[in-house]
Amino acid sequence: MSPAREKIAAAHTIKPKVRVVTKKNWKLQQQQLQQQQLQQQQLQQQQLQQQEQQQQQQQQQELQQQEQQQQQQQQQQVQQQQLQQQQHQQQQQHQQQQQHQQHQQHHLVYLLQLQQQQHKLQQQQQQQQQQQQQQQQQQQQQQQQHLNIRLSASSLPILNEGKSC
């Protein structure tokens, strides 16, 4: 056998080293396992805490949104109330205007009635004046007739006297 072949054969015949687990090694492994478990538990707790924090944040956000919605609703209610008040004021103004117009119309009707009464009075006065004028004319005519009769009566004796002469 050549030396190279002997080395190869020797390599095949070498027994692998068996790792002996001593008490120290076992304790170390146990400690490492415990530490890993602790770390995992801590990580899980941290994750749980983070989840809880996220949930709390979500709840807070939801609460804030609800508050905002309530505020918006309140604002809308206030706006509606203001609108209603404005409408009520407008209605009152409209009613006042109508009352004012009615008052003016009543006043106009009263003035018209007064004018009509005055016109009637004027007509009555004119009629009375006409009647008075007619009466005066009749009286004048009667007076003239009386005068004419007297004149004619007084002139008759003169004519008779002239005849007797």
Q: Which residue segment(s) compose the domain that 149 sits in?
A: 100-159
Is there a domain that residue 17 lies in?
A: no
**What sign for the dihedral angle of Cα 138, 140, 144, 146?**
positive
Q: Is residue 113 part of a domain?
A: yes
Residue 12's pLDDT is 59
Mean predicted confidence (pLDDT) in 118-147: 94
With respect to residue 65, please indicate whether it lies within any of the assigned structural domains.
Answer: no
Residue 137 located in a structural domain? yes
What is the C-alpha to C-alpha distance for residues 7 and 123, in angstroms, rounded to an integer? Answer: 164
Domain assignment present for 120: yes
155 domain residue, yes or no: yes
| 127 within a domain of the structure (yes/no) | yes
Higher pLDDT, 38 or 8: 38
Chain-centroid distance, C-alpha 50:
49
| pLDDT band at residue 116 under the 50/70/90 scheme | very high
pLDDT surpassing 60 at residue 71: yes
Residue 138's pLDDT is what? 94
- Alpha carbons 75 and 110: distance in angstroms, whole number: 52
> Residues of the chain with pLDDT > 70: what percent?
82
Question: What mean pLDDT, rounded, does the chain reach?
Answer: 87
- How large is the average pLDDT for residues 130-144? 94
| Terminal alpha carbon distance of the chain | 233
Confidence check: pLDDT of 73 > 70: yes
Number of domains in the chain: 1
Q: At 85, is the pLDDT very low, low, confident or very high (cuts 50, 70, 90)? A: very high
